[in-house]
Amino acid sequence: MDTDVFDEQKYLEEAGSDSSNAKVKRADHEAALTREFMDGFNQTKECDGVVLLGKGDNKPDFALQIIVDSHDTPGQKPVWNWILREIRTDRLLPVGNEDSGKQAAQGICLAVLKAATK
């Protein structure tokens, strides 16, 4: 989720203004952020063996939420916040706060691997 554009969209909606441009902008930004994360995931050795989406009857072991803040705010560095939850036990795992999609992918994969070996 791109919080910068999400906040802009919500502000427009609450003010009764047309938020359609903000919705399109948000979709474009989130697609670019997803590509950045996936590029990092595919380039990070710690992610070898980690499957993001199973096929068929496979149920996921973890739920993931990524929130990106300030990636398009002039003068600020982006912050990739991620939250990982183990579904079987409904337990929140350590959260991360990274500077890039690649660093977020690495942190997420390390947390998954650590949790899977417990």
Indicate whether 104 pLDDT > 90. yes
- C-alpha to C-alpha distance for 96 and 71, rounded to whole angstroms: 16
Question: β-strand 91-92 against 62-69: which pairing, if any?
Answer: unpaired
Number of CB atoms found within 10 A of residue 40's CB:
21
| % of residues, the chain, pLDDT over 90 | 35
pLDDT reported for residue 84: 92
Give the burial class of 17: count Cβ atoms within 10 A of its Cβ; 0-12 exposed, 13-18 middle, 19 or more buried. Answer: exposed
Please check whether residue 88 is in contact with residue 61, taking contact to mean a CB–CB distance below 8 angstroms.
yes
Please check whether residue 102 is in contact with residue 43, taking contact to mean a CB–CB distance below 8 angstroms.
yes
Where exactly are the structural domains of the chain? Answer: 3-116
**Mean pLDDT across the stretch 97-105?**
93
Give the pair of three-digit tokens for residue 59. 């149920």
pLDDT reported for residue 111: 93
pLDDT reported for residue 55: 61
Q: What is the pLDDT of residues 38-85, one digit of tens each?
A: 999 999 999 998 888 756 677 788 889 998 987 777 788 889 999 999
Q: Which residues pair with 105 in a beta bridge?
A: none
pLDDT reported for residue 54: 59
What is the pLDDT of the chain when averaged over all its residues?
85
- Of the two residues 114 and 74, the one the predictor is more confident about is 114
